């Protein structure tokens, strides 16, 4: 990779834990701080929070819509991911053209001018004709001036092949962190700089802080102890990085996650999921540092760590 390759320049505020570990008051504070910092991009999905509580189906989008209404905001850039039929973490989804268009109407009504991107959320299908039906809906998404997008696609090769005919400029969300990355699975079929990384903290892994019952990683059912050896590897990388005194030292997982995502050459943006305002502020602070200081050497060491 060239030393002058651009790094990802967009941040998107995630809402996956809103209504779950993040209550409405905190979500409003996060949006206040995000907006005040000049940030406009927000990501949500019909099935957030995926906490398997049926009454919470569509709760994250409702919190977001309520904040928009309360503040009379018209210039957010909301990304909505559609297709899921519940928040039970099942693969039940509907991506027919007619259902997609119904959802499009629904979200244009809910978010108004704040709606920017309309994404398929999770697609396990392998029938090309069925997927082409979804492409027809994307045609209408684009005709309305919105961006089309993909997230959680089991067969990106089918999407890429169909797109040879349709030529959509997709934004693509994919998991990308030091523990696990889906980049290669998509990069084989999509060569543009069109990726948005999510899960940059591996769902809430901490380098130094401890965990509580409200910790995101625990709520999601993962065991942080499984990652002890990888975390030790990361600690070694950031200890070495401290030898360079010309830039702020690293000490937290969100910094590592931002470096690992932002320096990937196909990364256009990074989804961040702060659960508290101080996390949001530290994320924005470090994103600013990434523009000011060079952390490419750290990125390269993290890539090696991931390969071992």
Ligand X SMILES: NC(=O)c1ccc[n+]([C@@H]2O[C@H](COP(=O)([O-])OP(=O)(O)OC[C@H]3O[C@@H](n4cnc5c(N)ncnc54)[C@H](OP(=O)(O)O)[C@@H]3O)[C@@H](O)[C@H]2O)c1
* Segment contacting ligand X by CB under 6 A, of 9-17, 24-32, 128-136, 297-305: 9-17
Minimum CB distance to ligand X, residue 93 (Å) = 12
Q: Does 49 bind ligand X (CB under 6 A)?
A: no
Q: Does 14 bind ligand X (CB under 6 A)?
A: yes
For ligand X, the closer CB: 163 or 283? 283
Task: Name which position in 40, 43, 134, 163 contacts ligand X (CB under 6 A).
Answer: 43
Minimum CB distance to ligand X, residue 279 (Å) = 4
Q: Does 84 bind ligand X (CB under 6 A)?
A: no
For ligand X, the closer CB: 21 or 117? 21
Region 127-166 residues binding ligand X, contact defined as CB under 6 A: 151-152
Task: Name which position in 173, 250, 260, 290 contacts ligand X (CB under 6 A).
Answer: 173
Task: Name which position in 8, 21, 137, 299 contacts ligand X (CB under 6 A).
Answer: 21
For ligand X, the closer CB: 11 or 146? 11
For ligand X, the closer CB: 83 or 158? 83
Burial 4-15 (b: 16+ CB within 10 A, else e): eeebbebbbbbb
Strand partners, 196: 173, 269
Region 240-299 residues binding ligand X, contact defined as CB under 6 A: 252, 254, 271, 273-275, 279, 282-283
∠247-252-255 over CA atoms, to 5°? Answer: 60
Region 208-227 residues binding ligand X, contact defined as CB under 6 A: 215-217
* Segment contacting ligand X by CB under 6 A, of 2-10, 13-21, 95-103, 164-172: 13-21
Region 192-211 residues binding ligand X, contact defined as CB under 6 A: 198-204
Task: Name which position in 8, 17, 178, 250 contacts ligand X (CB under 6 A).
Answer: 17
Number of residues in contact with ligand X under rule CB under 6 A = 28
Minimum CB distance to ligand X, residue 165 (Å) = 25
CA–CA separation, 194 and 23 (whole Å): 32
Minimum CB distance to ligand X, residue 82 (Å) = 12
In the numeric block, the tokens 């889906």 are attached to 182
| Residues 44 and 81: beta-carbon distance below 8 Å | yes
For ligand X, the closer CB: 62 or 279? 279
Residues that bind ligand X (CB under 6 A): 14-17, 21, 43, 151-152, 173, 198-204, 215-217, 252, 254, 271, 273-275, 279, 282-283
């Amino acid at each position: 990779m060239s030393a002058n390759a651009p790094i990802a320049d967009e941040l998107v505020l995630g809402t996956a834990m809103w209504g779950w570990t993040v209550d409405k008051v905190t979500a409003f504070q996060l949006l206040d701080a995000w907006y005040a910092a000049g940030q406009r991009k927000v990501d949500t999905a019909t099935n957030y929070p995926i906490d398997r509580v049926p009454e919470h189906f569509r709760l994250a989008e409702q919190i977001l819509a309520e904040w928009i209404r309360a503040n009379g905001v018209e210039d957010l850039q909301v990304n909505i991911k559609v297709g899921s039929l519940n928040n039970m973490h099942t693969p039940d989804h509907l991506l027919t053209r007619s259902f997609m268009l119904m959802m499009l109407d629904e979200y244009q009504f809910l978010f108004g001018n704040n709606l920017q991107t309309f994404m398929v959320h999770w697609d396990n299908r392998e029938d090309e004709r069925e997927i082409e039906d979804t492409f027809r809906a994307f045609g209408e998404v684009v005709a309305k001036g919105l961006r089309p997008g993909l997230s959680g696609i089991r067969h990106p090769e089918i999407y890429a092949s169909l797109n040879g005919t349709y030529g959509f400029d997709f934004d693509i969300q994919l998991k990308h962190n030091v523990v696990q990355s889906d980049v290669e699975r998509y990069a084989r079929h999509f060569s543009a700089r069109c990726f948005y990384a999510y899960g940059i903290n591996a769902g809430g892994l901490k380098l130094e802080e401890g965990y509580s019952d409200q910790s995101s990683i625990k709520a999601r059912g993962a065991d942080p102890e499984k990652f002890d050896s990888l975390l030790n590897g990361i600690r070694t990388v950031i200890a070495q990085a401290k030898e360079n005194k010309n830039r702020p030292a690293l000490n937290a997982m969100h910094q590592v996650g931002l470096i690992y995502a932002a320096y990937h050459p196909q990364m256009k943006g990074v989804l961040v999921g702060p659960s508290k305002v101080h996390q949001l502020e530290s994320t924005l602070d470090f994103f600013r540092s990434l523009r000011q200081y060079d952390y490419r050497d750290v990125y390269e060491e993290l890539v090696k760590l991931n390969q071992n």
